[in-house]
Amino acid sequence: MNVAHSYLVIVLPLIVGLGTQAVKFAIFTFKHGWKPEYMFTHGHMPSAHTAFAVSLAVSVGWYEGVGSGSFAVAAALAFVLVDDAARIRMYLGDQGRYLNMLVERLDLDESKFPRLKERVGHRVSEVIVGGIIGLFATLFLASIL
């Protein structure tokens, strides 16, 4: 792999990840109105984390080969990150929802028990769309560069 391609291995995922985050913010703004504080929000459609992780694995596979150790590491990282985005953080949101219900029903002082976020992770559809964007955007960019 030449020096120019070695930079593309990380530059492409950064472009794809930031581009996906921009798409997510545009969709969020269309649905909920202009809220700049949500520019780098987590959750919602599509998953920028997944797009970045899949893009990184595809990029490493494209430039270093799918038989390389680097690809194995990138693919394993993508698996862990996607699992975190879809499953683990959804459980965290569920816990927040249940704790918020307890605080309300027990009529506790909300200044001592502030509301927890109930939307922390991604729905499966958001992760799938992020993965599709990561795959195809990286393949497209790698093929033209």
Question: Region 31-38: what's the mean pLDDT?
Answer: 88
User: Sign (positive/negative) of CA torsion 18, 19, 23, 29?
Assistant: positive
Cα→Cα distances 30→25, 43, 52, 119, Å: 8, 16, 23, 18
pLDDT tens digits for range 103-126: 999 988 888 899 888 877 788 899
In this predicted structure, which of 52-61, 71-80, 88-97, 129-138 has the lowest mean pLDDT?
Answer: 88-97
**pLDDT of res. 139:** 98
- Model confidence band, residue 2 (pLDDT cutoffs 50, 70, 90): low
CA distance 4 to 12: 12
